[in-house]
Amino acid sequence: MRLNLNRTRREELTAWAFSAPALLLLLLFLIIPFAMAFGLAFTDQRLIPGPLPTRIIGLRNFVRLLNDEVFRKAILHNFIFALVVVPVQSGLALGLALLVNQKLRGVAAFRAIYFLPTVTVMVVVAVVWTFLYSTEGGLINELLRLISGGRLGPYRWLDDPKLAFPAIIILSIWQGVGFQMIIYLAGLQEIPLDLYEAASIDGASRGQQFWYITMPALRNTHIFVLVTTTILAFKLFTQVEVMTQGGPLDATQTMVLHMVNMGYRQLKVGYASAISVIFVLIVLTISLIQRRLLVEEREVA
């Protein structure tokens, strides 16, 4: 009895000791800044303290955000990005996964090639694509000219307010699709093969097998892919910062870029925190929807 008590106590203490480093770090660098964002959003806090003390200004930051032309453009761009990239990239990823899931010789090499952009550093991707988008004699313009027989282009991809954001969307899909492809591939490989065998004995066509076996079996994978891609769409920053800095004429502004410009470049921490709060609320909503959908799935199953 005595021994048991000691052991329980020892186990308790050990557990807290083992957890302490991680908990302390999470508290300091995740929980506190997270709480700070919500507090600072209601102040006029600056990064470098000025002559005046920081004041609580209520909802003024949020009211100002409502009238902030750049912020409105930024958030709109994030939604457009999500609306275009989520279906296109997920669809493409599923297509690629089906393609590399075939029993063809050398298919592993292709899978690796499709994954290469994902392991390429994003700053590098942005730099290389800036080169490809060059107006005079750039590869993409020349390719378009060749295909269209000289009718299309040359376009000023990154300098044209109408084209800059689509240009960034294209390279983002190019970079990100390999990641989703792997997720789909993992999902595909979990579907039992005898389902397909039974279906083909019953005379189901490839198309029917896809719609009635593959797609329903991938339900959770779909949810995961759609949600992670949507969240990534709201985090859009690196490509824009490197290629256009939000220009031309704010055509490529995003929430995170605006937040960095306000909080870091203009030192307006309070205002930037208000942007962070809205950003966090959007991401949390999307994540909670995901968890909800996944929970429902478990209950049904």
Partner 1 sequence: MPGYRTRQRLWKVVGYILLGLFALIFLAPLVVMIVSSLKADELQLLREMGTIRAFIPTRPSLQNYFDVFHRMPFQRFFLNSVIIVSSIVLLGLFVNSLIAFALARLRWRGRGFILSLIIALIIIPFEGIAVPLLLEVNRFGWLDSYHVQIIPFIAHPFSIFLFYQFFIGIPKDFDEAALVDGASYFRIYSQLIVPLSRPVFATVAILQFKEYWDAFLWPLMVTRGFEYRPLTVGMQTFFGQWPREWGDIMAFASMTSLPVLLLFLAFQRWFIQSVASTGVKG
Instruction: Establish if 153 lies at the interface with partner 1 (CB under 8 A).
Output: no
Instruction: Establish if 148 lies at the interface with partner 1 (CB under 8 A).
Output: no
Region 29-88 residues binding partner 1, contact defined as CB under 8 A = 29-34, 36-37, 40, 45, 47-48
Region 89-108 residues binding partner 1, contact defined as CB under 8 A = 96, 99-100, 102, 104, 107
Instruction: Establish if 215 lies at the interface with partner 1 (CB under 8 A).
Output: no
Instruction: Establish if 199 lies at the interface with partner 1 (CB under 8 A).
Output: no
Q: How far apart are CA 82 and CA 56, in angstroms?
A: 34
Instruction: Establish if 253 lies at the interface with partner 1 (CB under 8 A).
Output: no
Interacting residue with partner 1 among 3, 5, 22, 66 (CB under 8 A): 22
Region 217-236 residues binding partner 1, contact defined as CB under 8 A = 220-221, 223-225, 231, 234-235
Q: Which stretch binds partner 1 (CB under 8 A): 60-68, 76-84, 161-169, 173-181?
A: 173-181
Q: How far apart are CA 168 and CA 176, in angstroms?
A: 12
Q: How far apart are CA 256 and CA 240, in angstroms?
A: 10
Please name the residue ranges forming H helices in 148-205.
164-189, 193-201
The site for partner 1, by CB under 8 A, has a size of 102
Q: Say if CB 86 and CB 226 are below 8 A apart.
A: yes
Class of residue 100 by CB neighbours under 10 A (exposed 0-12, middle 13-18, buried 19+): buried
Q: Which residues does residue 43 pair with via DSSP β-bridges, in sequence order?
A: 56
- For 14, phi then psi, to 5°, come to -60, -45
Interacting residue with partner 1 among 215, 266, 284, 296 (CB under 8 A): 284
